[in-house]
Amino acid sequence: MSSMTVAKLRCCDKCDAPRTYRQFMQNHTTTPKLPAPEEEEERDICAICRLPYGSENLSLMMLDSRLAVTNLAGCKHIFGAACVKWLSRDSCTALHQRCPLCRTEWWHEKDPTDPDTDDQTKHTMSEQLARHWETDYSTARYFMYREQEYRHVYPPLERVALLASLKMRQAIGTAVMTDAIQLRLRKLQEKYVLTIAELAYDPMEVSLEHLMYDPFTFNNYYLSASCMRSAIYQTLTSMRGERLWQMYRDMVRGTQAGHEEYSLGAIERVWMQMFPGDEGDWVRFLLQVLEVAYPVVKADEDARMYENDEEEGLDQAYDTWD
């Protein structure tokens, strides 16, 4: 799968395969001549932000002037330069971006969480993670890349919370990539194709921001794999997500105690009665993810109850702290 992607991105002598954002910008974009002054009143619009070319992008403090894709098989489109730059910064699209109109691959960056990534990337990623988790740089960097020189001492309580959060992320990430969940995701994509086709033309709308307000109304199954993981994670770790976990736990415990028969459908029905505004397909899908992720998270919770942590270096840190 990934080797096919790489072959598709081979384009010219100057780019690597896969092509990076920087190479895309340097080797495959030009700035077309501005229209003559009399044509300016009929300026066409950037297909990403739907504003006339030359509009000001306030977040980037730059003009959305024309940027033409060039010398790239399949794509000859023009977009606003600020919008293309914006795509390279958005967490959902920065690593991998296709043309919003023709879907030709524009760039495909290496995964910055890979331990083989360059030092500058490691630095940037660790700083971001430290901010996100409100922790210190060394802790974030050690969690991300496992480099020995960053195995520092930090408060044990924070360690436990970080480990739990990391384990849950891993469990959800693994669950999402299993064949069973991927198959369900494809079924949802088929079902939602019309809704999503509209969204696909406006990457600004594809942002995950709305998840911050009400993650259970999510219905965009056409996001990239990393964005889907993020959407699932955000929903399952929200306030109401905790409640879904709890209902699932209760159900499993009840079944073990021989009470009721275990059923995802039963949880879904109760949930939809409580929250009729939620997206039923999303709730059902999350329950299927929980079914796969739960044993992993539970095993970790059990292990932590016995303080039996396989992170030796962190145990050492714990001892030093005491």
Smallest separation, CB 3 to Zn ion (Å): 18
- Min dist CB 287 to Zn ion, Å, is 38
Q: Confirm or reject binding of residue 171 to Zn ion (CB under 5 A).
A: no
Tokens linked to 141: 């960097």
Of the candidate residues 9, 49, 171, 208, the single one contacting Zn ion (CB under 5 A): 49
Q: Which stretch binds Zn ion (CB under 5 A): 11-19, 136-144, 147-155, 309-317?
A: 11-19
Stretch 78-97: interaction string toward Zn ion, x if CB under 5 A: --x--x--------------
First to last CA, the chain: 49
Strand-pair category, 66-69 with 78-80: antiparallel
Contact, 46 vs 83, CB < 8 A? yes
Our finding on whether 251 is near Zn ion (CB under 5 A) is no
The contact mask relative to Zn ion for 13-32 (x = CB under 5 A, - = no) is --x-----------x-----
State the binding string over 53-72 for Zn ion (x if CB under 5 A, else -).
-----------x--------
Q: Site for Zn ion (CB under 5 A): how many residues?
A: 15
Binds Zn ion (CB under 5 A): choice among 9, 21, 46, 244? 46
Q: Which is nearer to Zn ion, 13 or 134 (CB)?
A: 13
Q: If you search the block for the tokens 């100057």, which residue do you land on?
A: 14
Q: Segment contacting Zn ion (CB under 5 A): 73-81, 137-145, 220-228, 282-290?
A: 73-81
Question: Closest distance between Zn ion and the C-beta of residue 65, in Å?
Answer: 10
Whole-number minimum distance, CB 208 to Zn ion, in Å? 20
> Contact at 8 Å (CB) between 67 and 29?
yes
Of 102-121, binders to Zn ion (CB under 5 A) are: 102
CB of 5 to Zn ion, least distance (A): 15
Sheet of strand 78-80: strand arrangement: 29-30, 66-69, 78-80
Window of 74-82, 161-169, 192-200, 238-246 that interacts with Zn ion by CB under 5 A: 74-82
- Other residues' Cβ atoms within 10 Å of the Cβ of residue 295: 12
Q: Report 187-226 residues binding Zn ion (CB under 5 A).
A: none
Looking at the Cβ atoms of 13 and 116, the one nearer to Zn ion is: 13
Which residues are CB-neighbours of 212 under 8 A, at least 6 positions away? 234
Based on the shown chain and the rule CB under 5 A, indicate whether residue 77 belongs to the binding site for Zn ion. Answer: yes
Closest CA to 107 of 90, 125, 119, 129: 90
State both tokens at 150: 């960053």
Cβ nearer to Zn ion, comparing 28 with 229: 28
- Smaller CB distance to Zn ion: residue 48 or 140? 48
Cα separation, 232 vs 173, in Å, equals: 9
Where on the chain is the footprint of Zn ion (CB under 5 A)? 11-12, 15, 27, 46, 48-49, 64, 75, 77, 80, 83, 99, 101-102
